Structure 1
């Protein structure tokens, strides 16, 4: 009993961010504040997700987003909550969101950062109580501070990200992020209203036995993907696919595995978005020791040509990604 009373609660996200800020020469605290703003919005979405079945905020909203996908009510709520938190924080000059057609100018010419985000990934799983998430990328603007935001500020390579992360709303809510110096995960304690460090210096296993792919598109896959899946089956690997990118990626990050969303005959350019899905997860995976590619080149080296550009996506344990790529050589 005495030992339980004395058990420490751990390092809070705020304290961790402050400590890490001191590791950067010339740090001004703006990026730290931006990460706190994202965490605050995540707490609000945690609350909304956990009340979804009681407040009639599940289900379709009745409109489509720029992707031609039916928006869910929580898609819209999450988008509003994150935009509001980032606007009030004052560090962001522009936002790119899956839910909006164009760049959102925050009318804050002194803001130094651009945020690209998928406010609620996997939202079609809300009504069946399956894990969903938020994905975000943070870039430093390239145009002069004080002037208007340009498209060049937004269409930067993933290698230019200064931070990237995701929030996972599942059996517990987690925030996982990197600023280019490793990957750390924080679990939310709703009784205290704080994120606590729970997964320090995450490293993805170099190899794994989990493959995550929607095999419903099997007949339209490229030959090298078909061959890889058949090899996985012959080796009795485990197939795991939730249909929520954050959840599938998170599992493989911790346990070792590969996530594949390839080009198909119906989606020759892939389905996932480069700017606010693939770039963030690629940075996290690489910082954890893994690999991410579109099948031809490193995800983080791709020069975006449009806000909602789609790419094929292979991400996970290095040995598994390299193995599926052998079929292309």
Structure 2
């Protein structure tokens, strides 16, 4: 099996970017170890604090954020970072070439039940025409990402990543401490019968979206016999879709603060859309390609439909 760095070199990834990816993965290995220890390391349970999203932070949220934040700010190729757990941009090395955004622990509500969780990250070129600590550093469309990936902590620790070419999977070899290539090129089936959504939110959705699910569950010829899968961790649901197809949905709804759903454009939607589209799938928000959305704020939320091509297209057609 091939190791990560030789694969990246074959893809003609710049050495400085390779070294930055190594920094992120060094943090991921430490997070993976903390996750594997669970209660033995005293990392389960919640803190008394809320993050910028208004969510109660888990202890592992804080630990993962601090690990990534500390290692990235020590890397002299990083000009600034943005985290789902931080209110504002945090500056690193002035005039450095890259900026990094991350969700340190997606699905953290699953921590205490030993469910799926993961780290999502994305790398952009830093902008020289705005201050280093400005949110405008991150006001870049998703199609400008240099690298996107996630690390899924489960029975094995998996890295799924693209640097603009194929979306590949690497498995952490705990014996030698390195990520080894185990899937060279994901190809999402254009049509499947699995979907992932929190159906408990049905009562809050717009009528057209309710009608879509009424058809999907009770009337559809196109997707009859569909099965629902829901992990309560977007990173886990998207991994299943990249691996075998399906549709992930988090629509807008009528609850206060949910007019654009709950998925963050910078930390979740853009990097996962980049991975899915480089696997042959589609990623849209209200019928528009996610990767073409111009960000307007650091913690912007967007409704999403991501997955197999035919399912995304059909959802967009009947809900517009």
Distance between the aligned counterparts of 1:291 and 1:229, measured in 2? 19
Distance between the aligned counterparts of 2:169 and 2:208, measured in 1? 34
> Out of 290, 309, 315, which is 2:281 matched to?
290
Distance between the aligned counterparts of 1:200 and 1:264, measured in 2? 38
- Partner of 1:102, secondary structure, is coil
- Partner of 1:89, secondary structure, is coil
Give 1:55 shift.
Answer: 1.7
Distance between the aligned counterparts of 1:296 and 1:203, measured in 2? 22
> Out of 17, 35, 56, which is 2:21 matched to?
35
Give 1:225 shift.
Answer: 2.1
Give 1:144 shift.
Answer: 5.7
Give 1:232 shift.
Answer: 2.7
Give 1:141 shift.
Answer: 1.0
Give 1:149 shift.
Answer: 4.3
Partner of 2:106 in structure 1? 121
Give 1:189 shift.
Answer: 1.3
Partner of 2:60 in structure 1? 74
- Partner of 2:121, secondary structure, is strand
- Partner of 2:210, secondary structure, is helix
Partner of 2:6 in structure 1? 15
Distance between the aligned counterparts of 1:148 and 1:170, measured in 2? 36
Do 1:143 and 1:149's aligned partners in 2 also have CA atoms closer than 8 Å?
A: no
Quick check: 1:197 aligned with 2:181? yes
- Partner of 1:71, secondary structure, is strand
Distance between the aligned counterparts of 1:131 and 1:271, measured in 2? 19
Do 1:212 and 1:258's aligned partners in 2 also have CA atoms closer than 8 Å?
A: yes
Partner of 2:166 in structure 1? 182
What is the RMSD computed on CA atoms of the aligned residues? 1.4
Aligned pair count reads 313
Distance between the aligned counterparts of 1:328 and 1:124, measured in 2? 30
Quick check: 1:130 aligned with 2:115? yes
- Partner of 2:288, secondary structure, is coil
Distance between the aligned counterparts of 2:90 and 2:133, measured in 1? 10
Distance between the aligned counterparts of 2:110 and 2:285, measured in 1? 26
Give 1:196 shift.
Answer: 0.6
> Out of 190, 207, 217, which is 1:233 matched to?
217
Give 1:18 shift.
Answer: 2.8
Partner of 1:6 in structure 2? none
Partner of 1:46 in structure 2? 32
Quick check: 1:207 aligned with 2:198? no
Quick check: 1:91 aligned with 2:65? no
Give 1:150 shift.
Answer: 3.4
Partner of 2:221 in structure 1? none
Q: Compute the TM-score of the two structures, normalised by the length of structure 2.
A: 0.94
> Out of 263, 267, 270, which is 2:252 matched to?
263
